[in-house]
Structure 1
Amino acid sequence: MEAIQKIAVIGGGGRTGKYIVDQLLQKGFSLRLLLRNPNTFTIQDPLIEIIHGDVLDEKIVNVLIEGCQAVISTVGQRKDEPLVASRGAKNVISAIQKQQISAGKVRYILLAGLNVDTLFDKKSPETQKATAWMKETFPAIHEDRQKSYAILEASDVDWTLVRVPCIEFSDEKGNVKVDPEDCPGSKISAGDIARFMIGQLMDNTYLRQAPFIAGF
């Protein structure tokens, strides 16, 4: 894979995404951010290029990812709006595949809840309970997230789907535990999520896998 210099960030204006943007800037990466409401985005830095648009727009996603060596997404479902997970993943994968024809592999790292199921899971009763609650309470959102995982699996892209429990919106640095089969805790800070996701840029340990992470 080509050395990572420019990273496309989807969801960078959100509560978790802002931690990722801050940490990427501290590491000196050039960023291209996809923002639906750029006027409300307050982080100012010459390393940031803003693309105004939506991950549901295939043409905009192609523009976003062109020239980037990695994509990090924390986009979540928006209340009373079209389902975003599967269509967004499909658009990103399509754009990555076009990019890879001439420019080599593109790393794709994205965030999801612990309710996403894989064939490799050995979920504890606690994680099963949380998963069942999500399925019962938000069936359409859960199904869409599950569909996005199937889209990832069927692709030839170098992806990692990071599954997390309850997010605490702080930069608190905890003792993060990673488990490929079950969620190892009930919460994690947004700062620790950012550190883990950014760490995957140059780490193939969880390539084409969906690890759980939690802080404790």
Structure 2
Amino acid sequence: AAAAAISALGPRGGSQPVPLCATASGHVIEVASGRTGFRYVVISAAGVKGPPDTTSFLARLPSRIIRALLGTTYLDKDAEATVLAASSVDWVLIRPPGLTDGPPRGNVKSDATQATGGRISRDDLARFAVLMTTDPTYVRQSPFVAG
């Protein structure tokens, strides 16, 4: 039977963030390496440069501004993306924009190379993450999602 794990961990922030996300993903990958059919789905953030990333400079400009304002907050998620890219495990790194507590809209848009919108409900994001545990569309990619 196929197995999967979903990580929704986020960075702590502050001036000296604990590398929780990168460390946790490293442990999951260590345990899952060599398991046939295993998929690791990670919820990250639109500002993270996910592997492989061919987004143009202009398209990434809003993310660069947010990263400049938030300082070290993204360092752990960047490190996590690096851990995923170096692994042999099938993974999907989901990059949502701002999250809302609103009801699901059911119209999730996704793209591997460019941002697809400004917000997504937590419910729609969770449904997309579960879908990615079996859908092969974005294996070893970092799709942007919005709703």
Class of the TM-score when normalised by the shorter of the 2 chains: 0.7 to 0.9
**Alignment-derived partner of residue 160 in structure 1:** 92
Equivalent residues in 2 for 1:1-216 (5 A)? 2-3=1-2, 69-80=3-14, 82-97=18-33, 100=35, 104-117=36-49, 118-123=51-56, 125=58, 127-215=59-147
Distance 1:188 1:124 in 2: 23
Deviation at 1:122, TM superposition (A): 2.1
Partner amino acid, structure 2, of 1:143: L
Distance 2:52 2:6 in 1: 24
The gaps in structure 1 that reach 5 residues or longer are: 4-68
8 Å CA contact 2:98–2:119 kept in 1: the answer is: yes
Distance 1:183 1:114 in 2: 7
Deviation at 1:123, TM superposition (A): 4.3
Count of equivalent residues: 144
Distance 1:134 1:200 in 2: 27
> In 2 relative to 1, CA 119–200 (structure 1 residues): closer, same or farther, beyond 3 Å?
closer
8 Å CA contact 1:162–1:211 kept in 2: the answer is: yes
Q: For residues 107-138 of structure 1, what are the alpha-carbon distances to aligned partners after superposition, in whole Å with 9 as ceiling and x for unaligned? A: 1001011111144332474x523311232123
**Alignment-derived partner of residue 36 in structure 1:** none
Q: Which moved more, 1:127-136 or 1:109-118?
A: 127-136
Distance 1:119 1:97 in 2: 20
Distance 1:185 1:194 in 2: 17
SS class of match (1:113):
coil
**Alignment-derived partner of residue 11 in structure 1:** none
The gaps in structure 2 that reach 5 residues or longer are: none
8 Å CA contact 1:178–1:214 kept in 2: the answer is: yes
Partner amino acid, structure 1, of 2:145: I
Deviation at 1:79, TM superposition (A): 4.5
Cα root mean square deviation, aligned:
2.0
Deviation at 1:198, TM superposition (A): 0.7
| Structure showing the higher strand proportion among its residues | 1
8 Å CA contact 2:13–2:72 kept in 1: the answer is: no
Distance 2:57 2:128 in 1: 23
Could you tell me the percent identity over the aligned residues?
29
Q: Which moved more, 1:84-93 or 1:153-162?
A: 84-93
Task: Tell me which stretches of 4 or more aligned residues in structure 1 moved more than 3 Å.
Answer: none
SS class of match (1:108):
strand
> In 2 relative to 1, CA 212–167 (structure 1 residues): closer, same or farther, beyond 3 Å?
same
Partner amino acid, structure 1, of 2:82: A
